[in-house]
Chain A
Amino acid sequence: MSKYMLIMRGTDETNKALMASIDEAMAATGRFIEDMMKAGVLLAAEGLDDPRQGAVVDFGGDAPLVTDGPYGETRELFGGYFLLEVATKQEAVEWATRVPAVPGSKIEVRRVAEADEVPQGESNGQI
C-alpha cells in the first residue's frame, strides 16, 4: 500500500466556473468522497480557500519576502487535495479520473514518500 495525493490544479477560469455552480460541485464532491470512504481508501481531503486569503513567502533574497495573495503571475492554482491509501499508482490514477473536476482543470497524482525511503524519481527540490 502507498499513499497518493490527488492535487487539484485549476485556473482562474475553472475557479470561476466552479463558483458559478458551487452547490452542484459540492454535492458531486460529497458523493465522490463517500465512494472513496466506502472503498476504504480515503485518508484526508481538504479544499483550499481563495488565494487572496493567503500569502507567498519568497526565499529568493537574503531574508524571506512575504507578499499577500496568490503567487506572482501564475495562472494555475492549487485548489485542494485528496489523500488516498491504495495498492498501486494505477489505482490512484483510476480514482483521479473519477474526481468531479471542472472541465479545463487538472489533477496531479503524486506518491507520498514514506519515512524510511527517499522520494521516488527525480526531485524538483520542492516539497
Chain B
Amino acid sequence: MGTADVEAVWRIESARIVAALTRFTGDFGLAEDAAQEAVAEALVSWPRASPANPAGWLMATARRRAIDAIRRRAALQARYALLAADPALDQEIDPDRIDDDVLALMFVSCHPLLSREARVALTLRVVGGLSSEEIARAFLVPVSTVQARITRGKKAIAAAGVPFELPPVGERRQRLGGVLSVLYVIFTEGSTATSGDRLLRPDLAHEAIRLARTLAALQPDEPEVHGLLALCELTAARFPARTDPDGTPILLEDQDRRLWDLPAIRRGLAALARASRRSLGPYCLQAAIAATHASAPSVEQTDWARIVRLYEALGRVAPSPVVDLNRAVAVAMASGPVPALAIVDELIASNRLPGSHLVPTVRGELLTRLGRLPEARADLELAARLCANQRERSVLLGKAAALS
C-alpha cells in the first residue's frame, strides 16, 4: 500500500478517529496530534507491510500515540495523571456514540471563538481529512499559513476550555448556523474563487458538498442543513456550463443548459424537498432560487417573478446588500431595467457595498439595456478595476470594449 492508499483510508476515517480520541482524552488538540502521528507512521509502514484492517490499524495506532502523549504530560499535570489511569482509552468505538462525537467535532472545528480562516482549515483537516498541503493549494496560501491557523485554532480551543459536547439545546440552532456558514464559505471559494486565475475550484466545492452530506446524515431533522446541501448541489450542477474550455466564465444566459449535471439537479431538488416546506431559512430560500433556475429551459422562460419573491423573502430573513443586488437583477428580468436601476442606485447612495465590483457590473448591464452606453462603459471599466478574479475581469473589459 502506498501514500494514496494511506490518504484514502484517512479521508474516510479521520473524523471518526479524531472524534473518538477527543471523547477518550477530552483534549481536541492532543487527539488531532495523535491522529496525525498515526498517519505519518502509516506512510512509513504500510508500503512495507499492508495491514489486514487499515482503518483499525489507524485507530489503534492513534490511540497508542494519544496514550503516549498523556503519559508524557501526566508527569507534568495532575489532569493527565487521572486520564493516564483511565481504562476508557482501551475501549472500542461506541457505534451509538460516534455519530454524536463526529457532530461534536464539527461544532468544535467551527467554534465561534475561532477566526474564520481557522474554522475553515480545522474543518477541512479534521472533519474532511485533507492534509495541510491540500488546504493550502485550495486556498492559494502557503502551507505554513495553514499549519499556523490550525495550531492557533487548537490552542484557542484548549485555552478557552471548550468542552467536547453537542451545544446545549438553546444554542444548538445558532451554532449549527455557524457550521453551515463555514461549509458555505468553503463551497463559495470553490464555486467563485475570490482570487487567482481560475473561476472554479470544483474539488474544493465538492469537499463542501461532501461535508454537507455528512452533516445532513447526522442532522436529518434540520431543514437548513438540507437547504445548504440543496443550494450547493444545484449550484455545482451548473459548473460544467459555467466556463469554456479556456476557463473563461460563461454567463447564465449564454450557458448550454444541456451541460448541466441532471443527477446533481435531482439530488439538489430531493434535498430541498427534505427541508420542510414551512421552513424558510436563508439556505432553503437560496436553494429555492437555484432550483428555479435549474428547472428552467432558458433565461427567458425562467420564472423571474418567483425569483423576485424569493429574494424579497431572503432579504427579510437575512438582510444583505448582496441580496438586494441580486434582487435588482431578478427585477430587471421580471419588470425591466428601470425599477432595477432604482434598487442599485439606492445601494450606491447608502454605500452598502463599498469597493465591490458587483455593483458597477450590474449597473453597467442595466445602463447597457437602457442604451446609456457611455455611462455603462464607465461602470463596467470600474467593475474590472475592482475585480480580483482575472477571468471575470477580462469578461468585464470585453463587455466595456464592445460598447464603444
Contact = CB atoms under 8 A, between A and B. Distances in A.
Interface stretch (A8-16, A18-26, A37-45, A62-70): A37-45
A115 interface: yes
Contacts of A93: 8
Contact of B213 (A37, A44, A88): A37
A98 to B, nearest CB: 8
Contact of B12 (A44, A85, A94, A114): A94
A34 B212 CA distance: 15
B201 to A, nearest CB: 11
Contacts of A114: 240
Interface stretch (B157-165, B202-210, B368-376, B393-401): B202-210
B12 A40 contact: no
B99 interface: yes
B214 A40 contact: yes
Contacts of B267: 43
Contact of A88 (B7, B102, B261): B7
Main secondary structure of the interface of B (DSSP, over half): helix
Given A94-B5, A115-B259, A39 B54 contact: no
B4 A88 contact: yes
A95 interface: yes
B9 interface: yes
A94 B102 contact: no
A91 interface: yes
B214 A90 contact: no
B211 A87 contact: no
A93 B323 CA distance: 43
B263 interface: yes
A85 B8 contact: no
A85 B263 contact: no
Given A94-B12, A95-B12, A41 B210 contact: yes
A116 B244 CA distance: 10
Interface string A32-73: 001001111111100000000000000000000000000000
Contacts of B7: 87-88, 90
Q: How large is the interface on A (under 10, 10 to 19, 20 to 34, 35 or more residues)?
A: 20 to 34
B240 A116 contact: yes
A115 B203 CA distance: 16
A113 B237 CA distance: 16
B217 A94 contact: no
B257 interface: no
Nearest to B98: A38
Given A1-B202, A85-B206, A39 B8 contact: no
Q: In this complex, which of B4, B102, B203, B245 has the most chain A Cβ atoms within 10 angstroms of its Cβ?
A: B4
Most buried by A among B209, B213, B259, B261: B213
Contact of A90 (B5, B202, B245): B5
B8 A94 contact: yes
Interface size class of B (residues with CB under 8 A): 20 to 34
Contacts of A95: 12
Contacts of B5: 90, 94
Nearest to B215: A40
B59 to A, nearest CB: 14
B217 A38 contact: yes
A2 B203 CA distance: 9
B84 to A, nearest CB: 32
B257 to A, nearest CB: 12
B11 A87 contact: yes
Given A88-B7, A94-B5, A38 B218 contact: yes
A54 B99 CA distance: 40
A115 B211 CA distance: 24
A41 B207 CA distance: 10
A88 B5 CA distance: 9
Contacts of B263: 43-44
Given A87-B11, A91-B8, A38 B214 contact: yes
22 contacts: A1-B202, A1-B207, A37-B217, A38-B99, A38-B217, A39-B210, A39-B214, A40-B211, A41-B210, A43-B267, A86-B8, A87-B7, A88-B7, A88-B8, A89-B4, A90-B8, A91-B11, A93-B8, A94-B5, A94-B8, A94-B12, A116-B259
Given A40-B213, A86-B11, 20 more contacts: A1-B207, A38-B99, A38-B102, A38-B217, A38-B218, A39-B214, A41-B210, A43-B267, A85-B209, A85-B210, A87-B7, A87-B203, A91-B8, A91-B12, A94-B8, A94-B54, A114-B240, A116-B240, A116-B245, A116-B259
Interface of B: 4-5, 7-9, 11-12, 54, 99, 102, 202-203, 206-207, 209-214, 217-218, 240, 245, 259, 261, 263, 267
Interface of A: 1, 34, 37-44, 85-91, 93-95, 114-116
Would you list the 7 A-B pairs with minimal beta carbon distance, nearest first?
Answer: A40-B213, A90-B8, A40-B210, A1-B206, A91-B8, A40-B214, A37-B217
